[in-house]
Structure 1
Amino acid sequence: MSNHAALASQWMAASAQRVDQAIETSFDDWSVSAQQLKDAMHYAATGGGKRIRPLLVYATAALSNKPLDDIPGIDDCAVALELFHTYSLVHDDLPSMDNDDLRRGRPTVHKVYDEATALLVGDALQSMAFGLLANSRLTEAQKVAMISSLATSGGLAGMAGGQAIDLENVGKPLTKEALENMHRLKTGALLRTAVQMGGIAIDLNPQQLKSLDQYASALGLAFQVVDDILDATADSQTLGKTAGKDAAANKPTFVSLMNLDGAREFARKLHLEAVESLAVWGDNAYLLKAIADKVLYRQS
């Protein structure tokens, strides 16, 4: 293992622990009468997961060569994004959407509680995410830029729009271009926002943010291609969620469109595109490169 690879591995473990602690802390200040809702929100938010999105926030901010402790509001950014992502998973698992019983190796929120609670959990986590950004130590300009980015990536022109396209096309053939477009919205938009938020936190200029968007765009699509491969090849225990759901639901995937070998080759191509786009940052981008490797070679 190279020195950079070893450092990146240690950094990712420490940073995942950092965001887990920050998520716990974000719930400490809440004294509410709706205790079951708070408990359900906490259950959803602390169930583990890859933490790829907050890691992307931190890794992008690390381009400044400053310790994370010296970047005001960076933990609020990471937690807000992870809570927003968690809200989407809670709603995605509902019977009216993907109808799943397992998430991150545990029963889904609507199975532990009920469907009405799961709906409220998603709503409240989304509100909590925006509240964290609004009340953070970011500058006013940074707050506006991040809230705008997150709102756009989660809405009609992003995650929600992509999910709608997905639901509309169950059982229908899609071209590779249409499938890419759907997942650039459904999965990719929030990953791109993670990188944008990290860049905004360290005051990168528009040209720098645009160059990083090339990385995030390729990475976001690679993440989904690998997801499709794992859904077709891994078991539920390894995945931490129900394996084979896409095939069972007759959903168009990169595997159904390109077969396994084609999907694997496409994932490698996107990974290379992501890594090559970081060349302008030199060795400073070793953490972002390591996250790209983690996405390509992940097993769950």
Structure 2
Amino acid sequence: MPSLPKTLTAAMADTVEQVEAAIDVLLPKADLMEARLFDAMRYGCLGGGKRLRPFLVMESARMFGVAPACALRTAAAVEFIHCYSLIHDDLPAMDDSPLRRGRKTVHLQFDEATAILAGDALLTAAFEVLADPETHEDPQVRCRLVAALSRAAGARGMVGGQMLDLIAESTPFDIGAITRLQRMKTGDIIAFSAAAGAILGKASPAHLHALQAYAHDLGLAFQIADDLLDVEGTEDETGKAVGRDVAAGKATFVSILGVDRAKAQARRLADQAAGHLDIFGSRADMLKEVARFVVERRS
């Protein structure tokens, strides 16, 4: 992994620590007959990871003076959604992946049925957290968070993108279709994460729009980098199996653009994403660093 600016390195590490502590509290160990379900939920959420989406929530919230406790609950809810999607994505009916974040996937550590239920439980837990008054005292803000995350995670967002990803295994996709697929599957949750701080902070429409535009380009840059890692990365670097898209004959940004053009496009998108944040001045410097980080990462 490339060397990160010390401030970004420290900030991301701090977010990982805070989010994992919050998840540990929100998903307590259960002394119940169904304890296996809670164990699988915790295994799927507490197995490492960059916590990029929670970091975007925390940083955008900081820009608008949001109470850290409110931001942290929202960040944990986003991570619940992300981890549920990974658990289901790894299932034999989907990608049939044996490894995630350097460990056995949930369905191999437990079993397929438990993995499905763990994903279901994490999905619903996310909205339980957002709807709780502890997340924000204003019920309208909580409703906006629930509505926005529902759209980002549902049939017109992440889940619809996953459906397109399955179709892409047997249907030729052009660059426009690939872009739409990745915007839905990956970009929409990233966009929510970046906008969540503005929602919590009751920011102006102009500020909310700037963060959404930033996240749109960031999400595409992130996915191109992921496609490049699938071609150029190793299992040790990424913590998951690589080369699966090529083996499946699936169209990706790299298969259509080629490695060099894909790298150039990722850099352009990162620069464009950072440019959307100029409206915030130096307050957005950390988010600008994130845009550069996502295209240089090795995991």
Match of 2:186 in 1: 187
* Alpha-carbon distance between aligned partners in 2 of 1:62 and 1:296, rounded to the nearest angstrom: 24
Indicate if the aligned counterparts of 1:171 and 1:252 stay in contact, CA closer than 8 A: no
Q: Name the SS of the counterpart of 1:208 in structure 2.
A: helix
Indicate if the aligned counterparts of 1:53 and 1:78 stay in contact, CA closer than 8 A: yes
Indicate if the aligned counterparts of 1:71 and 1:202 stay in contact, CA closer than 8 A: no
**When the two structures are aligned, how many residues end up with a matched partner?**
294
Give the letter aligned to residue 6 of structure 1: K
Match of 1:84 in 2: 81
Matches within 5 A, 1:57-76: 57-64=57-64, 66=65, 70-76=67-73
* Residues 34-61 of structure 1: per-residue CA shift (max 9 Å, x gap): 1000001100000011100000001111
Matches within 5 A, 1:151-170: 151-170=150-169
* Alpha-carbon distance between aligned partners in 1 of 2:226 and 2:97, rounded to the nearest angstrom: 16
* Alpha-carbon distance between aligned partners in 2 of 1:30 and 1:199, rounded to the nearest angstrom: 35
Match of 1:215 in 2: 214
Give the letter aligned to residue 82 of structure 2: H
Indicate if the aligned counterparts of 2:99 and 2:105 stay in contact, CA closer than 8 A: yes
**Structure 1: runs of 5 or more not aligned:** none
How far did residue 71 of structure 1 move? 4.2
The answer to whether structure 1 residue 105 and structure 2 residue 99 are counterparts is no
Match of 1:52 in 2: 52
Give the letter aligned to residue 137 of structure 1: T
* Alpha-carbon distance between aligned partners in 2 of 1:30 and 1:148, rounded to the nearest angstrom: 30
* Alpha-carbon distance between aligned partners in 1 of 2:187 and 2:280, rounded to the nearest angstrom: 22
Q: Name the SS of the counterpart of 1:278 in structure 2.
A: helix
Match of 1:281 in 2: 280
Q: Name the SS of the counterpart of 2:27 in structure 1.
A: helix
Match of 1:134 in 2: 131
* Alpha-carbon distance between aligned partners in 1 of 2:271 and 2:247, rounded to the nearest angstrom: 31
Match of 2:201 in 1: 202
Indicate if the aligned counterparts of 2:53 and 2:79 stay in contact, CA closer than 8 A: yes
Identity over the aligned pairs, expressed in percent? 39
* Alpha-carbon distance between aligned partners in 1 of 2:250 and 2:84, rounded to the nearest angstrom: 22
The answer to whether structure 1 residue 257 and structure 2 residue 256 are counterparts is yes
* Alpha-carbon distance between aligned partners in 1 of 2:39 and 2:293, rounded to the nearest angstrom: 31
Give the letter aligned to residue 63 of structure 2: L
Structure 1 stretches of 4+ with a deviation exceeding 3 A read 29-33
Indicate if the aligned counterparts of 1:169 and 1:251 stay in contact, CA closer than 8 A: yes
RMSD of the TM alignment (CA)? 1.5
Match of 1:119 in 2: 116
Indicate if the aligned counterparts of 2:19 and 2:72 stay in contact, CA closer than 8 A: yes
* Alpha-carbon distance between aligned partners in 2 of 1:32 and 1:77, rounded to the nearest angstrom: 27
* Residues 226-265 of structure 1: per-residue CA shift (max 9 Å, x gap): 0000000011111100010111111111111011001101
Indicate if the aligned counterparts of 2:29 and 2:35 stay in contact, CA closer than 8 A: no
Match of 1:18 in 2: 18
Give the letter aligned to residue 282 of structure 2: D
TM-score between the two structures when normalised by the length of structure 2: 0.95
Give the letter aligned to residue 193 of structure 1: F
* Alpha-carbon distance between aligned partners in 2 of 1:270 and 1:141, rounded to the nearest angstrom: 33
Indicate if the aligned counterparts of 1:165 and 1:182 stay in contact, CA closer than 8 A: yes
* Residues 54-113 of structure 1: per-residue CA shift (max 9 Å, x gap): 00001111212x4x6x34521110000001100000000001111100001000000011
* Alpha-carbon distance between aligned partners in 2 of 1:140 and 1:30, rounded to the nearest angstrom: 30
TM-score between the two structures when normalised by the length of structure 1: 0.94
